[in-house]
Amino acid sequence: MADEEVGGHSEPLHEKCSIGQIILKFIASVLLVGAAYYLFVGTFNSWTPEAEKDSLSLEKQDELNIRPFKKELGVDKPHLKKDSDVEVCDLSVGEWIPNPAGPAYTNETCNFIEPYQNCLMNGRPDTSYLYWKWKPNGCDLPPFDPLKFLNKMRDKSWAFIGDSIFRNHLQSLICLLSKVGEPYETYHDSTYKTRAWYYPSHNFTLHVIWAPYLVHYETIDNHGNASESITNLHLDILDSKWTSEFNKYDYVVLSGGQWFYKSTIMYENNQVIGCHNCPDMNIIELGVGEPYRKALQLSLNFIATSENKPFVILRTWTPDHFENGEWYNGGICNRTEPFKEGEINGDPTDLIMRSIEIEEFEKAKVIGESNGFKMELLDTYHLSLLRPDGHPGPYRTYHPFDGDKDKKVQNDCLHWCLPGPIDTWNEMLMKMVFNGESTGYALS
């Protein structure tokens, strides 16, 4: 649609001019100048209060220490365009606004929703969480356009590299595309954590690759006792699951995540250098920030100097919304509305992890771009933080309270219901992939 609108105003260029036409053209150009002035002034007028509002809420955010880096908030570049017509807009700053149209798919129209995320099927009673739309300040985030996306992806392949949040993310993408085409599965490992789907209509492949630490790890055999499990993490060896076939991919989306919070013993050069959460082992506690930084550095450095030059996207940290406890001791998430700006600060450790991601990404981008890469940050942290209502909670299983309203059930306040807020991540991905192209999409 947008294509036609942008391309549809062509006029014949070679016309003979009569006096009448010249006068008409003169009048037309006066009108045009007037219109341009009106547009400029109009834009300017509406821009100023908007910008003021932004900086106000920014101050508030700084105060609350919600977002540590002012630089990447786009304060001083809200509506500008670069010479190349690439829209400069920080998609990660904005607000959730009501969206009466609702989601692009449901549990009835998409066959690819895993039971754990199928909140509608599982009987979640409230549905208002489906009727919100992310509105970045200073630009729009258009709905996902499956046909346009698939057409661009002919003969291409994507890899989503990380933990189960990517499985969640990829299901959302497949559901958004399902109106136009459905893939079939071409690969899965024995645990179904690493998988691939293929769209024969477009020779397009989607991979999700299980590499929750990005670096190499081994889980110590604990004879099935999860509470005794501890992971050996090699901070100087990348996980070959994703590096071995790196040359195949045209688009790579990667992230670390919650697994860095688990109990680990950390190694470099095959020597123990420390641990996290390993009481009684007499090993130095390293915390989570620096190990995560090392894993990211190693990964991004590998990417930014690799021969294959995919479009590289680093997704930021995913917040969880457990309240009244953690996932293992009865934490719940029963809110039914988004937070407003300022109503939630985010977990302090999560904020550190996100700021490490941004620092490492900025450094890698300098090297990567000088080597001819396109690199983008998919900063979903803050907009996701505002959506405590988007998780399955108890509705990760089918009708969990059937027969017993007071039953104690495990809640999931980390993954996202499908449809749900995570669909926005794909709208952002689409915007990134098309930005700067004269398809009309990027400018709408």
Ligand X SMILES: *[C@@H]1O[C@H](CO)[C@@H](O)[C@H](O)[C@H]1NC(C)=O
Nearer to ligand X, 317 or 322 (CB): 322
Q: Site for ligand X (CB under 6 A): which residue of 21, 45, 203, 345?
A: 203
Does the protein bind ligand X through residue 417 (CB under 6 A)? no
In the complex, the smallest distance separating the C-beta of residue 415 from ligand X, rounded to whole angstroms, is 18
Q: Return the range that interacts with ligand X (CB under 6 A); candidates 277-285, 293-301, 330-338, 375-383.
A: 330-338
Does the protein bind ligand X through residue 6 (CB under 6 A)? no
**What gap in Å lies between CA 349 and CA 354, rounded to an integer?**
9
Q: Return the range that interacts with ligand X (CB under 6 A); candidates 94-102, 208-216, 297-305, 332-340.
A: 332-340
Nearer to ligand X, 120 or 208 (CB): 120
Concerning whether 164 is annotated as a catalytic residue, the answer is yes
Query: What is the separation of C-alpha 371 from the centre of its chain, rounded to a whole number of angstroms?
Result: 24
Choose, from 164, 172, 255, 299, the residue flagged as catalytic: 164
Q: Which amino acid is at 222?
A: N
Please give the C-alpha separations between residue 47 and each of 27, 43, 57, 140, 174, in angstroms, as whole numbers: 30, 6, 15, 14, 37
In the complex, the smallest distance separating the C-beta of residue 425 from ligand X, rounded to whole angstroms, is 23
Q: For strand 311-315 and strand 251-254, is the pairing parallel, antiparallel, or unpaired?
A: parallel
Choose, from 54, 320, 350, 412, the residue flagged as catalytic: 412
**Nearest Cα to Cα of residue 249 among 145, 112, 155:** 155
Concerning whether 239 is annotated as a catalytic residue, the answer is no
Contacts of 161 by beta carbon, 8 Å cutoff, 6+ apart: 209, 211, 214, 242, 252, 253, 254, 255
Q: What's 105's DSSP letter?
A: -
Concerning whether 140 is annotated as a catalytic residue, the answer is no
Does the protein bind ligand X through residue 108 (CB under 6 A)? yes
The string of DSSP codes covering 344-411 is ----HHHHHHHHHHHHHHHHHHHHHHHTT-EEEEE--HHHHHT-GGGS-BTTTSSSTTTT-TT-----
Q: Site for ligand X (CB under 6 A): which residue of 57, 137, 157, 380?
A: 157
**Nearest Cα to Cα of residue 417 among 98, 45, 128:** 128
Scanning residues 29 to 48, which ones bind ligand X (CB under 6 A)?
none
Does the protein bind ligand X through residue 107 (CB under 6 A)? yes
Q: Site for ligand X (CB under 6 A): which residue of 2, 75, 121, 283?
A: 121
Letters for 208-227 (x = contact with ligand X by CB under 6 A, - = none) are: -----------------x-x
Nearer to ligand X, 113 or 238 (CB): 113
Query: What is the separation of C-alpha 115 from the centre of its chain, rounded to a whole number of angstroms?
Result: 22
- Count H helices and E strands in the chain, helices first: 9, 13
In the complex, the smallest distance separating the C-beta of residue 225 from ligand X, rounded to whole angstroms, is 4
In the complex, the smallest distance separating the C-beta of residue 123 from ligand X, rounded to whole angstroms, is 7
Both structure tokens of 417: 């219901």
Does the protein bind ligand X through residue 155 (CB under 6 A)? yes
In the complex, the smallest distance separating the C-beta of residue 234 from ligand X, rounded to whole angstroms, is 25
- Helix 422-434 vs helix 164-177: crossing angle, to nearest 10: 70
Q: What's 325's DSSP letter?
A: S
Query: Among all residues, which ones are annotated catalytic?
Result: 164, 412, 415
**Which residues of the chain form contacts with ligand X (CB under 6 A)?**
107-108, 120-121, 155, 157, 203, 225, 227-228, 324, 332, 334, 336
